[in-house]
Amino acid sequence: MDESSIFQDYFLLRSENIFFVIAAIVSAVLLIWPAITKRGTKEIDTRKAIELINYEDAVVLDVRDDSEFVTGHLPNSKHIPTEKIEDRWVELSKFKEKPIVVIYKSGIRSGHASNVLFKNGFKKVHNLMGGIDAWKRASLPVVKR
């Protein structure tokens, strides 16, 4: 085997592996991205939410639409629809030092509201995994008023 064929084999091996390296980098970024974009918010289950509400006087923020909120919500929860949170977060400013539990229909869109709160100085923001659906599945209290 001459020197040029060794160089060609080495170059071919490196160029074939570059695709694997790029795929690994892309995969790593996709795995890390949710942690970066959440900016300090934590996903919690119903057990942890109850603990925060009962022992740390957490504020429950329901960010569902008006029509969803009236069908049933957690007792004593505050209601600010997610599309209005950027204009109305100031209403919660007196609770900046308390934990905030953010609730949505299934827990998916609460991330936007949580990010707005975190960006405005709320440090203890938590999203309820599964949202109001998880709360109801756990047979926890819901009020209609």
* Predicted pLDDT at 15: 61
131: left (phi over 0), alpha (psi -120 to 50) or beta: left
Mean pLDDT of 40-46: 83
Q: How many structural domains are present in the chain?
A: 2
Residues 56, 28 within the same domain: no
Residues 30 and 46 in one domain: no
Calpha distance 141→139 (Å, rounded): 7
- 96 vs 121: CA distance, rounded Å: 7
Check whether residue 77 and residue 25 sit in a common domain: no
Q: How many CB atoms lie within 10 A of CB 34?
A: 10
Q: How far apart are the first and last CA of the chain?
A: 84
Query: What mean pLDDT do residues 19-28 have?
Result: 75
Find where tokens 């209601």 sit: 79
72 plus 27 within the same structural domain: no
The pLDDT of residue 117 is 93
Tens of pLDDT, residues 87-142? 999 999 999 999 999 999 875 667 888 889 999 999 999 999 999 999 999 999 99
Judge if 82 and 118 occupy the same domain. yes
The range of the structural domain enclosing residue 14 comes to: 1-37
CATH number at residue 127: 3.40.250.10
Q: Which helix (H) or strand (E) holds 52?
A: helix 46-55
| 25 and 51 both lie in a single domain | no
Stated pTM of the model: 0.72
Residue 78 counted as domain residue: yes
